[in-house]
Amino acid sequence: MISKERLLDAIREAGAKDYAVFAPVAKDAGVMLEEIDDPASINFDHVLTVNTLKDVGLPRVEALAEFDRDARTMEAIRDDDGKVLVFGSRPCDAAAQKILDAILIGEITDSRYAARRERMVMMTLACSTADDACFCSSMGYGPHDPTGSDVLLLPKGTEFIVRSHTPRGEEFLRELGMTPDADVEGDPPPELKRKVETGGLKEKLDKNFDDPIWNSVSENCVSCGACFYMCPTCHCFDVIDESGLSRGRRLRLWDTCSFAGFTKMASHQPRVGRHARYRQRIMHKFKYTVDNVNLVACVGDGRCIRACPYGVDLCEVLEALVGNE
């Protein structure tokens, strides 16, 4: 067991050992996972950070290369050296990393993402609270689930039980002179109000591409990208050049199937209509990723539900899809 004060000391020490430390801190947008200098600023009592670990592993703007048309060069830009400690993200966000790993590291590997993951230590803070949008347990995870965490801290009163779940976690604890706790029970995990039964969903999605239900479940959607950009597993991207310059950078940017331009070609638009774009989002998470890497691309963090300005509620959509004959 470790007290909060000693934990903050350990994070301070990690900083001294050249770890870049990302942790939750209160900001204008809410509690954000950001790189910090002073562990004293870390926030412990939020449900979830507004942003996700994508800001560490798959940032919203990433320079891929620098070009110079006159000099005839296109040089790759890499910024993936150095160690990173991600402290205090929640179990759902850690689980999301495992899903992104399965998609982006494998037969075809996104070398930049892989390099960032390689240097990332995940020290996750198990949840003591949940809100109305949390439904991680329905996705097979839970408020104290260790999936994706190297080290999991379980709250017990005002202190934390330290659990290591990977060799990297063990090595990290050794580096900081911490020891994992065995045989100690933490506080019970919070009860989740949201539950969604997804049995049979995949079988439904295998067959319901042309079902009119996609019109009704997407009716509230206004085709913004809030749910995508807040989602810890949505990872689609665009590649663009800084415009009109003979010297500039090639950038990778977040992009989303919510936007009509996502699939629009000069000659052809294969995906027409808001319902079709919303269907792509659901299919991608609950069918296509299952077909390709045998994982559902949703961890039940509920950010899409919280972020939606018009009340599109993923749990209700899933229930409607499961219940639809």
Kindly indicate which of the ranges 117-125, 149-157, 158-166, 226-234 contains the residues binding other proteins, using the contact rule CB under 8 A: 226-234
Contact code string over 152-181 relative to other proteins, x by CB under 8 A: ------------------------------
Distance CA 234, CA 255 (A): 9
Contacts of 274 (CB under 8 A, 6+ apart): 218, 221, 223
Written as one letter, the residue type at 175 is E
Kindly indicate which of the ranges 64-72, 116-124, 168-176, 180-188 contains the residues binding other proteins, using the contact rule CB under 8 A: 64-72
Residues 115-134 that bind other proteins (CB under 8 A): 131-133
Kindly indicate which of the ranges 41-49, 137-145, 174-182, 244-252 contains the residues binding other proteins, using the contact rule CB under 8 A: 244-252
Distance CA 91, CA 57 (A): 16
Query: In angstroms, what is the minimal distance from the CB of 34 to other proteins?
Result: 10
Q: Which is nearer to other proteins, 10 or 234 (CB)?
A: 234
Sheet holding 83-87, edge to edge: 2-3, 159-164, 151-156, 120-125, 83-87, 19-27, 30-35
- Among 15, 102, 166, 215, which residue sits at the site for other proteins (rule: CB under 8 A)? 215
Establish if 81 lies at the interface with other proteins (CB under 8 A).
no
Residue of 153, 135, 157 lying closest to 144 (CA atoms)? 153
Establish if 197 lies at the interface with other proteins (CB under 8 A).
no
Is residue 199 classed as helix, strand or coil in its secondary structure?
A: coil
Residue of 59, 45, 50, 53 lying closest to 85 (CA atoms)? 53
Establish if 213 lies at the interface with other proteins (CB under 8 A).
no
What is the CB neighbour count within 10 angstroms for residue 41? Answer: 13
Q: Which is nearer to other proteins, 113 or 141 (CB)?
A: 113
Establish if 102 lies at the interface with other proteins (CB under 8 A).
no
Residues 8, 40: contact at Cβ < 8 Å? yes
Query: In angstroms, what is the minimal distance from the CB of 281 to other proteins?
Result: 10
Establish if 20 lies at the interface with other proteins (CB under 8 A).
no
Query: Which residue reads 């067959």 in tokens?
Result: 207
- Among 67, 87, 172, 286, which residue sits at the site for other proteins (rule: CB under 8 A)? 67
Establish if 313 lies at the interface with other proteins (CB under 8 A).
yes
Handedness of CA 171, 297, 104, 21 (dihedral sign): negative
| DSSP class per residue in 133-147 | T--GGGGT--TT--T
- What tokens does 209 get? 């591409």
Query: Which residue reads 């296509």 in tokens?
Result: 288
Residues 22-61 that bind other proteins (CB under 8 A): 27-30, 50, 60-61
Establish if 214 lies at the interface with other proteins (CB under 8 A).
no
Kindly indicate which of the ranges 18-26, 73-81, 90-98, 175-183 contains the residues binding other proteins, using the contact rule CB under 8 A: 73-81
Establish if 294 lies at the interface with other proteins (CB under 8 A).
no
Size of the site for other proteins (CB under 8 A): 94
- Among 1, 184, 239, 320, which residue sits at the site for other proteins (rule: CB under 8 A)? 239
